[in-house]
């Protein structure tokens, strides 16, 4: 495993990390979740990502339970939560968003579910148009001073919103956001590569990037249709299928087919190539993997060996193949 600093902070995260979205508390049972965390930790992964909204708190419960069961040393791993969407069906106004009230209460609930005394990373899962950024910045700083959170950050905030949060923090000598959690993969590049470009050096921003395989699309598993047992084939995931594959006009599947053709020519697994491409971006602090079975996770870890195998021309070929 390689380790990278989270932006300009002193926290070293494994270059590949592991998240619980859709799988924990939903698609997979506790014993597969336990196998996945064990395999991840044994292979040097030291960051496990979660959120209040994942399976309405169940994903955090399962993760906390298996980490306790595996007796992982608390100083050997980092765990996150994310606040915004709430952890109940039809949340009331105080059960969602980024008000001081919900940020505090969601943090306390996540600590209990994950069975830890502090969250290593705590994210604002989306911007909240109904809460002044200043209120959220003060709330995050208070949690850090109380020892309940170590690093706070954002997920899918605009560059302008991140800058504003940092400006407020610096003006009041508060803890500024250390990281952003954006989507980043061969099919979705603009925000990380262009919009955030000035923030890496100006703010020392780190990134924990999500969906490196675009929910599995970049493995090529959907090139010939959607199998029932795959993520996009799960009942209740029609919305996700629309989002990930898009309509015919979006030509996303064509872009993936071109990508998997290049991978086949190179004799590489598309999954490993797609993840290695993310790892090559120096502004990516950690690539967050998802998996519904341990064999997928073990395959994806092989991406670490590909980053130096090819020269720039080959990586550019992949970018051309997947271009819109």
Contact residue for ligand NAP among 98, 116, 263, 289 (CB under 6 A)? 289
* Size of residue set near ligand NAP by CB under 6 A: 28
Which residue, 21 or 174, has its beta carbon nearer to ligand NAP? 21
CB hemisphere CA count around 197 (13 angstroms): 5
Q: Is 300 in the site for ligand NAP (CB under 6 A)?
A: yes
Which residue, 133 or 213, has its beta carbon nearer to ligand NAP? 213
Return the bridge partners of 208, or none: 286
Cβ neighbours, 10 Å, residue 228: 8
- Give the alpha-carbon dihedral of 84, 85, 91, 95, to 10 degrees: -20
Q: Is 23 in the site for ligand NAP (CB under 6 A)?
A: yes
Contacts of 48 (CB under 8 A, 6+ apart): 17, 18, 19, 20, 37, 40, 63, 67, 77, 78, 79, 80
Given a contact cutoff of 8 angstroms between Cβ atoms, the answer to whether 20 and 54 are in contact is yes
Q: How far is the CB of 317 from ligand NAP (least distance, A)?
A: 21
Q: Is 181 in the site for ligand NAP (CB under 6 A)?
A: yes
Residue of 54, 122, 196, 310 marked active site: 54
Query: Which two three-digit tokens encode residue 171?
Result: 């003006």
Q: Is 35 in the site for ligand NAP (CB under 6 A)?
A: no
What's the rounded Cα separation, in Å, for the pair 293 and 281? 27
Which residue, 49 or 60, has its beta carbon nearer to ligand NAP? 49
Strand-pair category, 16-19 with 286-289? parallel
Which residue, 114 or 214, has its beta carbon nearer to ligand NAP? 214
Stretch 47-76: interaction string toward ligand NAP, x if CB under 6 A? --x---------------------------
Contacts of 299 (CB under 8 A, 6+ apart): 269, 271, 272
If we measure between CA atoms, which residue out of 205, 229, 200, 203 comes closest to residue 216?
229
Q: Is 219 in the site for ligand NAP (CB under 6 A)?
A: yes
Contact segment (CB under 6 A) with ligand NAP among 161-169, 199-207, 291-299, 306-314 equals 291-299
Stretch 198-217: interaction string toward ligand NAP, x if CB under 6 A? ------------xxxxxxx-
Query: Which two three-digit tokens encode residue 57?
Result: 């708190």
Given a contact cutoff of 8 angstroms between Cβ atoms, the answer to whether 133 and 165 are in contact is yes
Enzyme catalytic residues: 54
Q: Rule CB under 6 A: which residues touch ligand NAP?
A: 19-21, 23, 49, 155-156, 181, 210-216, 219, 221, 230-231, 271, 288-292, 296, 299-300
């Amino acid at each position: 495993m390689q380790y990278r600093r989270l932006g300009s902070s002193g926290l070293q995260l494994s270059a590949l990390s592991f998240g619980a979205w859709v799988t924990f508390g939903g698609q997979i049972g506790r014993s597969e979740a336990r196998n996945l965390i064990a395999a991840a930790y044994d292979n040097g992964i030291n960051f496990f990502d979660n959120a209040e909204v994942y399976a309405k708190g169940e994903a955090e419960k399962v993760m906390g339970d298996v980490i306790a069961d595996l007796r992982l040393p608390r100083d050997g791993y980092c765990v996150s939560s994310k606040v915004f969407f709430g952890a109940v069906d039809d949340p009331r106004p105080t059960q969602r968003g980024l008000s001081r009230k919900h940020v505090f209460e969601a943090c306390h609930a996540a600590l209990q579910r994950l069975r830890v005394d502090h969250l290593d990373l705590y994210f604002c899962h989306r911007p909240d148009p109904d809460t002044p950024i200043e209120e959220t910045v003060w709330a995050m700083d208070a949690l850090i001073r109380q020892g309940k959170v170590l690093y706070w950050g954002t997920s899918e905030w605009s560059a302008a919103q991140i800058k504003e949060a940092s400006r407020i923090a610096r003006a009041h000598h508060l803890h500024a956001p250390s990281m952003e959690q954006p989507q980043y993969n061969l099919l979705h590049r603009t925000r990380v590569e262009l919009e955030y470009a000035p923030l890496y050096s100006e703010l020392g921003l780190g990134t924990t990037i999500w969906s490196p395989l675009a929910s599995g699309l970049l493995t090529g598993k959907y090139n010939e249709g959607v199998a029932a047992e795959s993520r996009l084939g799960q009942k209740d995931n029609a919305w996700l299928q629309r989002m990930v594959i898009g309509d015919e006009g979006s030509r996303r599947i064509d872009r993936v087919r071109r990508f998997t053709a290049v991978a086949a020519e190179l004799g590489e697994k598309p999954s490993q190539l797609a993840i290695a491409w993310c790892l090559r971006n120096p502004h990516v602090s950690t690539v967050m993997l998802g998996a519904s079975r341990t064999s997928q996770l073990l395959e994806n870890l092989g991406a670490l060996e590909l980053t130096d195998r090819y020269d720039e021309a080959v990586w550019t070929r992949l970018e051309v193949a997947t271009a819109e």
